[in-house]
Structure 1
Amino acid sequence: MQSPPIERLVWDLDWNLLRTFIVIAEAKSITRAAERLNLKQPSVSNALRRLEDRVGRRLLERDASRFELTDAGRLLYEQGIEVFGTISQLPSLLRSVSDDVVGHVTIAVASHVISPLFDQALAQFHAEYPRSSVTILAAASSEVAKQVKERRASFGISLVSQRDPELDYEMVYREFFGFFCGPSHRLYGRSGLTLDDLQGESSVSFQTDHIFDALRPVALLRSEAKLDANIVGVSSSLEEVRRLIIVGLGIGPLPLHVARRDIADGVLWRLPPYDAPPAIDIFLLVNAHKALNRAEKALLSGLQTLIAETPLKDRIYGG
Structure 2
Amino acid sequence: MRPDTRSAHRVLRDLDWNLLHTFVVLAQSRSITDGARKLRLQQPSVSSALKRLEDQIGRRLIDRAPGRFDLTEAGELLYAEALDIQGAVLRLATVLRETTDEVRGHVRMTVASHVVCPLLDSALAEFHAAHPSATCQIDVMTSSDAIAAVEARAASFAICLVRAKNPKLEYRRLYREFFGLFCGPPHPLFGRRDLTRADLKGLASVSFQTDRLQDVLKPVALMRAASDLEDHIVGTSSHLEEVRRMIIAGLGVGPLPLHVAARDVAAGEIWQVPPYDDLPAIDVHLVWNPRSKLNRAEQIMLEDLKTRIETTPIERRTYR
Tell me the TM-score normalised to structure 2 length: 0.89
Match of 1:159 among 158, 161, 167: 161
Q: Which runs of 4+ in 1 moved over 6 A?
A: 63-66
Q: CA deviation at 1:92?
A: 3.9
| 1:225–1:147 distance in 2 versus 1, CA, 3 Å | same
Cα contact 1:3–1:56 (8 A) shared by 2? no
Aligned amino acid, residue 209 of structure 2: Q
CA shift, 1:84, in A, is: 0.4
Cα–Cα, structure 1 residues 173 and 32, in superposed 2: closer, same or farther, change >3 Å?
closer
Distance 1:176 1:216 in 2: 13
- SS of 1:261's partner is helix
Between the aligned partners of 1:246 and 1:25, the Cα distance in structure 2 is 37
- Tell me which residue corresponds to 2:264: 262
| Overall identity of the aligned pairs, in % | 50
2:96 is equivalent to residue 102 of structure 1: no
For 1:141-180, list aligned pairs within 5 A.
141-180=143-182
Tell whether the 8 Å contact from 1:4 to 1:54 is kept in structure 2 after alignment.
Answer: no
Which residue identity does 1:264 align to in structure 2?
A
Which amino acid letter does the alignment assign opposite residue 243 of structure 1?
Answer: R
Q: After superposition, where does 1:88-237 map in structure 2 within 5 Å?
A: 88-95=90-97, 97-237=99-239
Cα offsets for 1:29-70 (capped at 9, x unmatched): 28964983657946x566545434433334455577765544
How many Å separate the matches in 1 of 2:317 and 2:68?
49
> Take 2:185 and 2:266, find their aligned partners in 1: how far apart are those partners?
13
Contact persistence 2:11–2:56 (CA under 8 A) = no
Equivalent position to 2:73, from 60, 71, 74 = 71
Cα distance, 1:46–1:218 mapped onto 2, change above 3 Å: closer
Matched residue type, 1:110 = A
CA contact 1:180–1:252 (8 Å) conserved in 2: yes
**Could you tell me how far 1:19 is from its partner in structure 2?**
2.7
**What's the CA shift string for 1:180-213, capped at 9, x where partnerless?**
1101110111002111111111100111111121
Structure 1: unaligned runs, 5 residues or longer:
none
Q: Is the deviation greater in 156-165 or in 221-230?
A: 156-165
In 2, the alpha carbon distance for the partners of 1:34 and 1:243 equals 27
Q: Which moved more, 1:26-35 or 1:186-195?
A: 26-35
Q: Which amino acid aligns with 2:73?
A: D
CA distance in 2, matches of 1:253, 1:81: 35
2:85 corresponds, among 83, 86, 94, to 83
Matched, 1:6 2:7: yes
The one-letter amino acid paired with 2:106 is: H
Equivalence map 1:299-310=2 (5 Å): 299-310=301-312
Which whole-Å CA distance do the structure 1 matches of 2:246 and 2:254 have between them? 8
Report the Cα offset of residue 146 of structure 1.
Answer: 1.5
- Letter aligned with residue 96 of structure 2: L
User: Post-superposition shift, 1:5?
Assistant: 1.9
TM-score by length of 1: 0.89
Aligned length: 316
**152-161 or 260-269: bigger deviation:** 152-161
Q: Is the contact between residue 4 and residue 56 of structure 1 (CA under 8 Å) also seen in structure 2?
A: no
